[in-house]
Amino acid sequence: MGNDWTKEDVYRTYNLQNWGEGYFDVDEEGHLVAVPDKGTHKIVINKVVEEMKTQGIKLPAVIRFHDILRQQVRNLNRSFRKVIEDANYQGRYFGVYPVKVNQMREVVEEILDAGQTYDYGLEAGSKPELMAVLAYNTNKNAMTILNGYKDEDYLRLALLGNKLGRKVVVVIEKFSELSRLIKLSKEMNVTPMIGLRGRMAVEGHGRWKSSSGEKAKFGLSISEIIQAVQFCEEQGLKDAIKLFHFHVGSQISDIRTLKDAISEGGRIYAKLHKMGVKLEYFDAGGGLGIDYDGTRSDKDSSMNYIVEEYATDIVWGLKQICDTEGVPHPNIVTESGRMITAHHSCVITNVIDQVKTSQTSFNTSKVTGEHLIVENMRDLEESLSQKNFQQYYNEALQLKEECLNAFKLGILSLEERAKIETIYWKIMSRINVMTKSLEFIPEGLHSLDDDLAPQYLCNFSVFQSIADYWAIDQLLPVVPLNRLNEEPTLNGSIADITCDSDGKMDRFIDRESGFKSTIPLHVLKENEDYLIGIFLTGAYQDVMGDMHNLFGRLNEVHVYSDPEDPAGFYIEEIIRGNNASSVLATMQYNPEYMAQKMKQLVNQEVVRGIIPPREGVRLVDFYEECLSNYTYLMTTLGE
């Protein structure tokens, strides 16, 4: 590290330690490192990228740190176990991972493997998810929880699981599902495990608050719950009701929401038990948050509690209610998805160019006969000083406006307009520097920083790789991978390579205000890659991206740490991203037809003598090669 730019500065600038949860750090050479065991073993992320390169894997790419997944599974289960022991709570913890959060087979397998000793299970919300879960969650002690709306096939698949001796609980979201389930269970001659989803009065806050509350899409009202119990009793299946479930929404930012939900849900459980419903499981749903911006607050992208506190509030809250009501402590289920997967994957992209509003090297020197506006703007530039910059700021703005009007009237030439705009941006840059030494920055000059900020053009698609950033304003941490031992001297934002003006990032985490519109970056060097990581993309982002502009799925590498290895890691698996043919095929194009057609069109020109035959062959080969290439850009800086 340099003398006056230290690790502490890096931590402060990117809030690394607060969102990183100990999984990310910076080394002495200024490289960003992953710390999968939160201990001393470090993986330089840039080394992973270099190894990818030697194997022909291009950026952008997703890197998965499988050890982080395992660590999160352990962390969640151990937290619950410890609190349960401390509280002398009589039930057990049976967590399930909701596969919708990241359905990648390798992710699900890793989670199951790490969770084996805790009898950690899976949750599914659709038929395809259930089919995967039935085949993969084979531990008979682990729970399988089924949510979402269900048709007959869905219910038959669930009962098939019960026939195989698995703890498959069908959570009833709507009353009609119950009669269907019971009818089918009799047909298939197997006892179902019934769960009841309560539609709670408590509402979450923030983006997912509509998951709960009286107008929620899912769940049974209190009167429906009572009717459901009566119906089961009539059918001789009262004892098949095993679980009470609720879900107040994802990303619970404020711990008070959870406390409220436990108070309400705990009472419903206790009263049902007193009505003779021998519930064995209390399922508090998902919602365990991730501190994306690292502010430890109740803002939408943050959370004001830690995992241990979450476990404590559930276990102690339930214990207290059960003890006062005189009912047994139920086993506890949670469906935490975001918490398990968010940290383990990141998107690595390379800057391919930059877009500046301002600085150009256009020659602005004086020539005879120039228009007065050019002269006036130049005069401003020459006499600008610390004393007059506020006044000059206003005058420069006005001159620029006059310039545009004069141009539209045909009075100014293209050269004159170019000169005026170039000088204008020079003036603004200087004023921006001058304001930095002020204690009070005058109104209007605040936005100068943003106006002058360059956009780094990054090789990725917001719509494919960080869908929630675009769709619901999800903040995600962004950090350069290298040069962190140098002070980043400019503030910039990020633009992606789609043709969509929404394809950009101009909201970044900030530890004081929650978010800001630019992020500190380094000045680009010619012919030196500048790599940027977007972090905490393992939950939802990995699997929700769309095909905007036909940029397809990213290349992906699965990394395991290995303290014996010289680089400290090995790449266990490479999954190639989409090539042009495969994304075109998803939109019903036929790449073979396209190649044939292009060949035919080229041949026609060869026959006409427009294209020489040798070149014709090369052009056809080139087109075919492009079909099999990665959809993202191959350019690097300085080209």
Ligand X SMILES: *Cc1c(COP(=O)(O)O)cnc(C)c1O
**Binding residues for ligand X, per CB under 6 A?**
98, 100-101, 147, 247, 250-251, 285-288, 335-338
The CA radius of gyration of the chain, in Å to the nearest whole number, is 30
Q: Which CA distances in Å does 242 have to 60, 158, 278, 624?
A: 47, 15, 7, 59
Q: How far is the CB of 289 from ligand X (least distance, A)?
A: 7
CA–CA distance, 407 with 118 (Å, rounded to integer)? 73
Q: Which is nearer to ligand X, 353 or 468 (CB)?
A: 468
**96 or 532: CB nearest ligand X:** 96
Q: Least distance (Å) from ligand X to the CB of residue 265?
A: 13
Nearest Cα to 262, choosing from 212, 216, 304, 326? 212
Residue (294 or 337) nearer to ligand X, CB: 337
The distance of closest approach from Cβ of residue 256 to ligand X in the complex, given in angstroms and rounded to an integer, is 17
Closest CB 343 distance from ligand X, rounded Å: 13
103 vs 358 by CB, closer to ligand X: 103
Return the number of other C-beta atoms located less than 10 Å from residue 439's C-beta.
4
Q: What whole-number distance in Å separates Cα of residue 117 and Cα of residue 74?
A: 10
User: Closest separation between CB of residue 286 and ligand X, Å?
Assistant: 2
The distance of closest approach from Cβ of residue 61 to ligand X in the complex, given in angstroms and rounded to an integer, is 24
What is the C-alpha to C-alpha distance for residues 88 and 315, in angstroms, rounded to an integer? Answer: 10
Instruction: Please state the closest distance from residue 246 (CB atom) to ligand X, in A.
Output: 9
> Tokens in use for 453?
């900020």
Q: For ligand X, which is the closer residue by CB, 100 or 371?
A: 100
Dihedrals φ, ψ of 508, to 5°?
-125, 155
Alpha helices in 235-279 (DSSP H): 255-274
H or E element, residue 459: none
Phi, psi (deg, nearest 5) at residue 29? -85, 5
Shortest Å, Cβ 72 to ligand X: 12
Length of the chain: 639
Contacts with 615 (C-beta within 8 Å, 6 or more apart), sequence order: none
Nearer to ligand X, 44 or 307 (CB): 307
Cα–Cα distance between 260 and 540 in angstroms, integer? 26
**429: its two tokens:** 């840059």
Torsion sign across C-alpha atoms 470, 465, 288, 157: positive
Query: Among residues 44 and 104, whose Cβ is nearest to ligand X?
Result: 104
Shortest reach from residue 56's CB to ligand X, in Å: 35
| Closest approach of ligand X to the CB of residue 195, in Å | 11
| Rounded distance between C-alpha atoms, residue 264 and residue 284, angstroms | 11
CB of 172 vs ligand X, minimal distance in Å: 13
| Smallest distance, ligand X to C-beta of residue 129, A | 11
Nearer to ligand X, 307 or 445 (CB): 307
Q: Dig out the tokens for 257 from the structure.
A: 């929401």
Q: Which is nearer to ligand X, 90 or 210 (CB)?
A: 210
User: Shortest approach of ligand X to residue 175 CB, angstroms?
Assistant: 18
Nearer to ligand X, 84 or 288 (CB): 288
Nearer to ligand X, 97 or 424 (CB): 97
Angstrom distance (rounded) from CA 82 to CA 311: 9
CB 190 within 8 A of CB 167: no
Q: Which two tokens stand for residue 403?
A: 């310039």
287/492 with CB nearer ligand X: 287
Residue nearest to ligand X (CB): 286
Specify the DSSP element, H or E, that contains 325.
helix 307-325
Helix 389-408 to helix 414-435 angle (10° resolution) is 160
Our CB check for ligand X shows the closer of 123 and 496 to be 123
CB neighbours of residue 487 within 10 Å:
15
Closest separation in Å from C-beta 310 to ligand X:
11
Nearest to 267 by CA among 249, 286, 282, 248: 282
Q: How far is the CB of 335 from ligand X (least distance, A)?
A: 4
Beta carbon nearer to ligand X, 220 or 396: 220
- For residues 560 and 110, is the Cβ–Cβ distance under 8 A? no
Vertex 320: Cα angle to 315 and 324 (nearest 5): 150
221, amino acid identity: S
Q: What sections of 87-238 are H helices per DSSP?
A: 105-115, 127-136, 152-163, 175-188, 222-234
Our CB check for ligand X shows the closer of 123 and 556 to be: 123
- From CA 177, how far away is CA 156, in angstroms rounded? 12
What the block records as the tokens of 72 is: 């999160």
Residue 391 to residue 438: CA distance in whole angstroms: 15
In angstroms, the CA 516 to CA 510 distance is 6
